[in-house]
Structure 1
Amino acid sequence: MELRDLDNAAAFCELVGAPHLLTYLGLTEEVDPAEARAKLKSRRKFMQGMQANPKYRREALFLIKHFSSLSTVLEDGPAYLRDVRRRTESEHLPVLEMTVRGVLAGGGLGAQQEAYLRHNALSLGVSEETFREVLERIADEMQISLEGDPLSHAPSSQDLYKLLGVDPRATPVEVVDAYGHRIAELQPGDPERERLALAKEVLSNEESRRHYDLTTARTGPPARTRETVRPTQPRLEAPGGVSRLELLGDPVRTLSLRADPAEATIQLRNGGTGSMGGRAEADVPWLIVTPDQLDPSAAEQQILVRLDRGALTDEATAGVVTIETERGERASVVFELQRGPTAGNVIGLLAFMLLIFLFVAGLVLQM
């Protein structure tokens, strides 16, 4: 097996949208090499008759032209899969590194944050071993201990949005512009310049920014996510008081597509003494937030989050609702979709079962 064979296999999988050849052939990673090569040969025979079909033309031509290379890499499945993982990791390592740096900028790493970062790494195709190496290397570079609770000593200024002074909805261009303005205010050698560069890297990259937002949303302070909800009551505001946003309940919720209506409530508390105006906004069109403005005088208030089925896509998996006060405090709740059989699926299945029953009954009567 030569590098050229592995390159051809990688190019073909990118063309057909498959992670590797075994998935493309509908086989498991433990399959016998002879069976895998036989399946590939059968697929080539099928594709020889599909060259005139526009849907399969590019796939067919590539498979026929580079069949020898593709067959060769299947001779040694473990070695081929190691190359696949290496290529996948090299593609996603920059995103993982930026996400880890963004989270560690908070001053440390809790167990829940580490678990979510690990989940992100594995979903990107990065191995556990590589994830640990990246995490420990970056923590060492930033002189941050991976032991203990980061929430007890994390400075609030390490929120990357606050660090750059941008809105959570800021575009990548606005993030870069904000970085330019902030960096111009600092002297060369100021350690703040490194933190600003980190914030710009994380927030100007769409994928690393999404991972950073989801990670911080999942790992809010326990005191703000596990408290017992008290009855809503008006707040007697003290002159010159300061508000404090508190999110009550889990920062990760589930919306079931089988529920009708599919909705959930977010309970907020003002733990301070001042008024707490602000807004609530979803990052996806299929989550409807009502109301989208906070009641400044309420001690506690609820926000209704409803699923808009008409705007839902097949690829949708999760959305984030972010609450931001006029003082710049933010809290986020992740809503994960729980898909299940639809009514149409159930009716279709029942109809199919009825046809089977009638068919069997007819056979019995004929006997």
Structure 2
Amino acid sequence: MNLKDDKSKKIIVAVLLIITIIMTIVIVQAGPYNNNNKSDIVVDIPTGSTVNNVADILKENKLIKNELIFKIYVKVSNNSSKLKSGKYLFNQTYSNNEIIKDLAKGKIYNEGIKITVPEGSTSKEIIDLLVKNKLGSDKKYEELINNPKEFYGEFDFLKEDKIISLEGFLYPSTYYFEEDESEKDILNDMLSAFKSQYNEKLQKKQKDLKMSLWEVVNLASIVEKEAVLDEDRAIIASVFYNRIDIGMPLQSDATIQYAFKERKKSITYNDLKIDSPYNSYVKKGLPPTPIANPGIKSVEAVLYPDKTDYLYFVAKIDGGNTYSKTYEEHVKNVEQYRIDREERNNGGTK
């Protein structure tokens, strides 16, 4: 063995030793903060938090030893865009991988009063639900919902001139509220959820379409109330766009329903004549405010509508819709729906 070979082997051994030391340090730093402490720690990851924000919060709560190594583990595990906001229950025996796994799965720690806001709920329905669960007063909620300026400090998207109400922006989801939370804090949580769902991709698409947020959410709220099946949302959106393009009223029963204090079982011919800015049979264009709080699927349908020539649609008894390009076709479809409904109500006999 010559001196050159001996020197090369020593260098290789030294490099391997250094790599081993580094790997050991990384493994230790990414391991549990304290294997002997199983005391519960609740951490709150705010909506919109970046990986850096999450690392800071975990470090402050003594759940990770090294922020940089935690961020490397997040990146290597391909979870950079998957960490979800909410409250989590951890303890110091959790490793970085275990924490990342829970955050990516959204394994949220649920505490407080559970409130589920269904898609398509109106602000009035949301208020009734909250008050029923002893979470504030209806008067205060109404005051705040009708005054978006109260929320300008945290939510810039509300600053559009036409946004005169929080209707449409109280995102339908499941929430957990403390008994002593204020009405404003509760509405803040719902607005934060909307902000989180209305991501940069959707915002960019809105700008590409040269639409305002008010227009997107307003039309999405109508689509939400008209659609039964997910696959119909983008088609319904196309129908309303086609009507707008030719100066035709939207003619949506859902907007008229919003004009009434209590929802009616069905809209009558006389209802189509009421003097209301929400009567889309008489008034052209969008109503003054959204008519409900839509889910993200209806928002996406408005931003990514199907391309069709349809101007009319009528419900089918199976929950879907039949679409048509002309009024004559529409009349036939309405009659067919009436026949199908009567047949079903009569037990399948004509």
TM-score by length of 2: 0.27
Q: Which has the higher contact order (CA 8 A, sep 6+)?
A: 2
| Structure 1 length-normalised TM | 0.26
- The answer to which structure has the higher strand fraction is 1
